[in-house]
Amino acid sequence: MRASLPLLLCVGLVGCQQRGSDLTGQVLFTANGTFDAQADLRRREGKGMRSVEWRSKPPLPASAVRVVYDSDARPLAWQMTVERPTFTPTDLRGSGPRPVDTPRGHATLFTQGRLNGVLLVRSGPQEFTLLTRAYAEQHDPAALPAFRPAP
């Protein structure tokens, strides 16, 4: 029995993957609030909107991450800004990317997979923003044409 205990522990640890161990999973877990307890700053923005920000230990491989969300519909209505990421938007493109134009410039709309319906826009040379259609409907209507189906 004692000899099998280390074997069981080893098998058990190998079978337990860290939640959000893949990049897309980490993005979605961050957007949905899984890592909020470790955030450096939590704010009420007004009109039912809230934000969380990580600077000292971001949940994504980046120098800072900020999520603004509708407190009544967080899984549906959120915007995430990623500053100085050590990954590229291309690393997220396993989800059926479609190039689109927005008032902010060229962007990518994910059309399938776990990021289906999420728009990725470069917001600076070392920064990009991800946002959902529900967030755009409420807070960034100029981005809505990018969510239209392809002709």
DSSP 36-73: GGG-SEEEEEETTEEEEEESSS-SSSSSEEEEEEETTS
**Structural domain contains residue 27:** yes
**Structural domain contains residue 93:** no
Instruction: Say if CB 96 and CB 110 are below 8 A apart.
Output: yes
**Structural domain contains residue 138:** yes
Reply yes or no on whether the pLDDT at 135 is more than 90.
yes
pLDDT for the residue numbered 6 = 41
**Structural domain contains residue 95:** no
Q: Give per-residue pLDDT as tens, 21-68.
A: 599 999 999 999 999 999 999 999 988 999 999 999 999 999 999 999
User: How many structural domains comprise the chain?
Assistant: 1
* Buried b / exposed e along 123-144 (16+ C-beta atoms within 10 A): eeeebbbbbbbbbbeebbeebe
**Structural domain contains residue 150:** no
pLDDT for the residue numbered 91 = 85
Range of the domain at 62: 18-85+122-143
**Structural domain contains residue 44:** yes
- SS3 call for 145: helix
**Structural domain contains residue 4:** no
**Structural domain contains residue 102:** no
Tokens of 141: 């209507």
The predicted model scores a pTM of 0.83
